[in-house]
Structure 1
């Protein structure tokens, strides 16, 4: 599963990077020109890699990174003059321009593999729920049962389906239902 979001302020740049990635064997899921579009795409995908420039239509890469899910990594492509003093967190890999196609493709391959491993590791950690986590899930089920007249098994299946469809954990889905409730 290669959930890749290409995000550049210029539609031309975004299209060029999409073409390069496709020739390298990747199929970007979304091409975006604004941070808001990227955030929406992240919600739909659940995990993946964002290939982006320094500036998007409505925000800088670091603002986007602050709102990035733990299941995503960012491949920042920018000129060295824009990132002179920058210290990047673990979730951001930086490639300076001018860029070689092989560097881009090999870095992206490693990042996609890393995201997959990190997601498995996090899922493994969440396999055994704490009592507190189970209370959140039970609260979400109770809310569904009360508001939508579901039985407990129906509410549980609904939570599971939403979790699978959105690519999030059962706990995250339950928290979202409670926050919307």
Structure 2
């Protein structure tokens, strides 16, 4: 589950939303009454959702949104007349008066989006330096020459050793080079 921070200028509104979320199994990391408190809270967390109102003593929701880390999404709960920006990235709006099931469905949808983004980030290939690529290439060439592997077989061999040992491909390639070049 994502980290949730609630920020409303009226503490009773924040407490009501926190109660709804905690009764539904969500964990609320912080409840804030100013924009500065909200930003301080989200900056201490890896990713999540900021649920907030429109106006604070020290700033408006768009100012908070502008300083929000990219890993965070904002759920703005306000009157329809207060919601100006509807097509802003990482901003979802719910109009007041709000229904409990709408809040919970929206949080669930936002969490799904956060999970998909995390998966995509993990699936992106790591960018290796030229030096690291060269070490892996030399290890594959050595395996191909010594063991009559195809390039694909050599790569799979290095990958398997990497997974078995819990080390990176470059470390395994360096080990292969040091062991096979000695002998």
TM-score bracket, shorter-length normalisation: 0.5 to 0.7
Report the Cα offset of residue 130 of structure 1. 5.6
Report the Cα offset of residue 57 of structure 1. 2.9
RMSD: 2.0
Contact 1:75 1:95 in 2 (8 A): yes
Q: CA–CA distance in 1 between the matches of 2:127 and 2:113?
A: 24
Partner of 2:76: 76
Partner of 1:59: 59
Which consecutive residues of structure 2, in runs of 5 or more, have no partner in the other structure?
A: 133-183
- Provide Cα deviations, 1:8-45, integer angstroms capped at 9, x if missing partner: 01111111110111122211111111111111111211
Partner of 1:42: 42
The list of structure 1 runs, each at least 4 consecutive aligned residues, that deviate by more than 3 angstroms after superposition, is none
Higher RCO (CA-CA < 8 Å; seq separation 6+): 1
Which consecutive residues of structure 1, in runs of 5 or more, have no partner in the other structure?
A: 135-181
Match status 1:105 vs 2:104: yes
- Provide Cα deviations, 1:75-94, integer angstroms capped at 9, x if missing partner: 100001112x4333121010
| Aligned residue pairs, count | 131
Q: CA–CA distance in 2 between the matches of 1:130 and 1:89?
A: 34
1:72-151 superposed matches below 5 A: 72-83=72-83, 85-125=84-124, 127-129=125-127, 131=129
Larger Rg computed on CA atoms: 2
TM-score, normalization: structure 2? 0.66
CA 1:124–1:15 in 2, change beyond 3 Å: closer, same or farther? same
Q: CA–CA distance in 2 between the matches of 1:103 and 1:14?
A: 17
Partner of 1:7: 7
